[in-house]
Every structure is written in structure tokens, then in C-alpha cells.
Amino acid sequence: MGARSRSSLFLLLLFICLGSQSLCAPPTCYSRVLGLSKEIMKVLNKVHETSRTKDCAEFLPKMFLDVHNSCIMSKLRDFLYMVENLPLEHCRARIRIISLKRKVRGLYVIISRVCYRDLVYLTDDCEALDTGYSRPRYDEDRLQLLEETS
């Protein structure tokens, strides 16, 4: 291969790489909150399943994150308090626990400061963040329809 064909191949690859990146939109506040909440749930599941951190997980409250729940801030604050004040010293030093604490703190800061008015809360069912089950919320029209059919 000649030097000219190599340089043209390099330029072609460069344009393809740059073109594919320009199609991607930058992450929004909402997408960052969703992504971070999924990351937290993955790390939390690993904490509960891994033998090294299972004894630490016993001190943590159950948590099912829903960024559309208006109770998320108080749940994150309570959870963060529990993670920071684990009674066993070796638990506070575990890498997964430290990672979980950083992610929860990061999500709390993003929601409270960065995305302060960007999130839309669709429910105020605080129990759903503990159980993972959200009771159905009926609008007035749906409720009226249910009352008429019964």
C-alpha cells in the first residue's frame, strides 16, 4: 500500500469516526439521572449477592429507585446516612460499599442541584421505594369510569 492510499484510508476512517460521534446527543440531566439510578441498583444487587459484602448488606435498607417518585430525595438521604454510618468498620472500607456511597451521593447532588426543576414526578408513593411495588394511580377520568362500571 502506498503512502497516498494509507493517508486517504486514514482520512476516511477519521471522518467515519467523527461522523458517528456527531449523531450522538449529549447526555441530558434526565438521562444521567436514569443511568445513575440503574448503576446504583446494579451495585446494590451485587452488594447483596457477593459473599464479601453480604453481611454489610444486612444493615442497609431495601431500596428500589424510581426517579419519577417524589419521595426519592428523602429515600436517598436516608440510604446515604445508613451507608455512611455502617456499624462494622470493615464494611465501610469495602470497595463496593464506597462505590455505592459515591454513586448515591452523586445522584442526590444531581437531582437536588443540577436537575432541580427538570424532573417530573409521576407518583408520591413512598412505600414503592421500599417494596418495589407501586400501587396504581388513577386520574379522575379513570376513577369515574371505574365507578360507573362497578
The angle at the Cα of 25, spanning 24 to 30, to the nearest 5 degrees, equals 135
pLDDT for position 22: 47
Q: What pLDDT is stored for residue 135 in this prediction? A: 67
Give percent of the chain above pLDDT 90: 43
Q: What is the pLDDT of residues 96-114, one digit of tens each?
A: 999 999 999 999 999 998 8
Q: Are 65 and 118 in contact (CB under 8 A)?
A: no
Tell whether the model's pLDDT for residue 76 goes beyond 90. yes
Average pLDDT over residues 110-127: 82
pLDDT of residue 98: 95
Please check the confidence at residue 143 and state whether its pLDDT lies above 60.
Answer: no
Residue 31: its pLDDT value, please? 87
- Indicate the residue type of 71: C
Q: Which three cell numbers stand for residue 98?
A: 464506597
Q: How many CB atoms lie within 10 A of CB 25?
A: 7
d(CA 100, CA 57): 11
Distance CA 74, CA 16 (A): 46
Residue 145 has pLDDT above 60, yes or no: no
pLDDT, average across residues 7-14: 66
Q: Is the pLDDT of residue 29 over 80?
A: yes
Q: Which long-range contacts (CB under 8 A, 24 or more apart) does 57-62 make?
A: 59/86, 59/87, 59/88, 59/91, 61/130, 62/130, 62/131, 62/132
- CA separation for the pair 41, 20 (Å, rounded): 30
Cβ pair 103, 35 in contact under 8 A: no
